[in-house]
Structures are given as C-alpha cells and as structure tokens.
Homo-oligomer: A and B are copies of this chain.
Amino acid sequence: MMLSQRQQHMLDFIRHYGEEHGFPPTIREIGEAVGISSTSVVKYNLDQLEKKGFLERSSEISRGIRLKAAAAPRADSAGQLRVIPKLGVISAGAPIPAVGQQDNPFGDEVLTLTQDLVPASGELYALQVKGDSMIDALVYDGDWVIIQHQNTAQPRDMIVAWIKDREETTLKYYYPEGEMVRLQPANPAYQPIPVRADQLEIQGKVVAVFRQLAH
C-alpha cells in the first residue's frame, strides 16, 4: 500500500488547493500541477488513491473529490495515521482469510487509527469477529481485531492461532512450555488449553481490538 511520489504530490496539491479555494480542483488542474498531460492518467491515479483510502470521489460530479482522514496533514507526531485494510472475518470455525483473498466482503474498506495506538511498523490488517466463539478472548460478534501478520510470537503475546488437529482458529495468550504450548484465554474465568507445539500455527499477533456500539 505504498504511495508513489506522484500520488503523494497529488494529495498534497488537492489538500493545498482546497485550503486555498474552498473547493476541490478538477482533474485537469491536478494534472497540470503535478505534470500529467493526460486527464485519464490523473483519473487513474485518483482511482488508486481512492482504493487506498486517501480520498473519495463522487462520479460524474465536477470537483467531486473529498479527502479522507488518512490524507489529512500530519499535524503532530501523535497524529500520524495508520491505514489498516479490512481483510475479512474471523471465527473459531474457519481459518482466517489470507492477504489478497478474492472474496473479501469488505472490498477495499479500511480502518484508520492513529499511529500511537498500534505498532509503528509491521503489516497490519483488521478482521471482524463473527459469532460468540471468541468470547473467552473478550471479543464478541462485530468487534474488530487488528492483527500484525507474523509466524512467530513472544511469550505473553496474544496470538491468532490455527490449531491443526482441532481445525480451529483462536485468540489466546501464548505461553510456550517446551514441547507444549499453553494457550491462555484473556478471560481468567476460562481454562488454559495445552496444545502440542507442532499442532500450532501462529498466524499473527493481536495488537488491538475495537468495538463499535450501535449509534
């Protein structure tokens, strides 16, 4: 999800133009500003920026560009934003979707969080919890879990694990103990689960959980 030099430039120009004029620029104005001679190339790059979550466009509307939060100027350091793609759903009964999966129910939607809430580096993605099977991890239907993709973990990390012999995805704290791994639920009322290390596949680390109540 990188921005090319040109796309960064476009974003800067659109923001600057909007501040100056009170309304967004046209495709041709953007092209002229960043040195693109063809309107179709500007459109191409705008589509890219929209797909990456930096702006929204209203089709067939003059100057129908709306910058999203991710494109806001980085005011203070804590205001740095992290754009996290919504990759799919997670439930105990099914493996988690892989990056670039075709049938992503969320299309190219993203979740944007400030940088101070999540790790500075690492590949992050968001999955929406389906059902109540992860209630022992204190997450429930509808919650978003933000995951850092990795295949190893440190003790005490909360991991996304695939337990091969049970064919089950789970969110647990990770405590390696020799040949075995103890998977500890976040809710202390639940019992830890011992699993043979070779039956455990670490899919990533849970770095945050977000729950949006109806409003």
Contact = CB atoms under 8 A, between A and B. Distances in A.
Contact of A187 (B56, B79, B135): B135
Nearest to A29: B61
A210 B213 contact: no
Oligomeric state, in number of copies? 2
A69 B80 contact: yes
Interface residues of A, number: 53
B78 A215 contact: no
A153 B211 CA distance: 19
A123 to B, nearest CB: 13
A209 interface: yes
Interface string A124-150: 000000001001001110000000100
Given A23-B65, A63-B23, A79-B72, A211 B209 contact: yes
Interface string A50-70: 000000101001111111110
